[in-house]
Structure 1
Amino acid sequence: MASTLYKWAGLLFLSSFPYIFTLRGDFVFDDTEAIVKNKDVSSESWTDCFYNDFWGTNIKSNLSHKSYRPFTILTFRLNYIMNNRQLSALSFKTTNLFCHILSTVLVWFTYKIVVNIQHLKKHKIDISYFGALLFAVHPIHIEAISGIVGRADLLCGTTFFLAFICYDKAINSQKHSSLFMVVTIILSAVSMLFKENGVTVLVRNNTFRY
């Protein structure tokens, strides 16, 4: 019991502490175009983001980037509303950090499944836990956490891992396999609406099974 608590404490600490100092930053680079200047974030309409790309340009326009991420824009909009309809970089960055912490926890659970599938439990060290620790502090995540537009990656990853976990439940559950499979498909669709490459979870689920 104590060792489990220590593991949780270590995971939560390492997934948050290295990035706390970035919370004082401002909107930079792509944040300006995707959030500050994007009317889908601050307008009265909740549906415009479903007709526009990530940058607020009509998806049918020749000038559109074609990056379709309406659910990510909706989370930006929620940040804006919850902060009294003011654009606060601190609010947006804090949300990103919480998303990273959640992703790290889900990575731990996902690695446990992979370790079990690959029959790697014989190792003396906890591979899944140390893999999650590496994920927590890996410098490749700095841009996704510190840059607000990186939330698309964070939320796509979170729902990606949830879909993977639910798929494992669907394969191994005797009573609710159909329900878990439906949830897997829904989460895969949600992941894709956070960022396009979320759809690849369907392929990866099958890859790990064979």
Structure 2
Amino acid sequence: MLAFSLQAGGQNLPSLNSLSLKFAPQHAVMSGYWLEIEHQRASHPQQSFTLTPQLYSGPAGHPDGLRKVNPLNEDESVRGFGVQVQHRLYEMPSKASFPAGFYVSYGPHLQYFQMAFHRNSWREIQGPGDLPYYEYGPVRFTEKIVRYGASVQLGYQAPLPPGPVFLDIYVGMGWRHSNSNSDIEGSQYRSGSSDYGHRGFYFPAGVKVGFALSALSALRPRTPAAM
């Protein structure tokens, strides 16, 4: 990474102050919606910072197949949010109006999930004369998860001619830890490296579709100067 940074610092790029937005569609299978904002400062044209707010809402995903730890859970849903911050170092100068080419990035992330599911269990209800009795049936349970960690990623960002749309393809390695508070003993969401409550090493990979906001000004027709 140090050699990569020194090589990036030795190159000269056009003076840009670009801003771009990206969407990572692969997280939708987990009911997650990630919008990445990348900002490149003119004073450091081969470096940029990314901020990725995350929103989770909808059915809980099953990325690792059927969860062996909770096969009886039904109607699983997730609500939550998160944020990821990364510093990027690009290898080569970019001729586009936004950073492009091979890069390495690194940074931390923090996420919060509130899981809800139903499972058949005994529950106490009020009977005739307000007398309590137990009934066996679906009961709603919840689990709250706080997850944090960091990752290092290698990627390639390439424009799709002729417009300001581009693709960002990446792979990497990271580590994360999670704490959970569940109505049932033990976490229900640690079936694999893609699950909501996963702990340990993981390998992020995917693709992002981006749009360079800085290119909008270049696409606008210019008004002829008055004579």
Shorter-chain TM-score range? under 0.3
TM-score (normalizing by structure 2): 0.24
Q: Could you state the TM-score of these two structures normalised by the residue count of structure 1?
A: 0.26
Higher relative contact order (CA 8 A, sep 6+): 1
Task: Judging by fraction of residues, say which structure has more strand.
Answer: 2
Higher helix share: 1
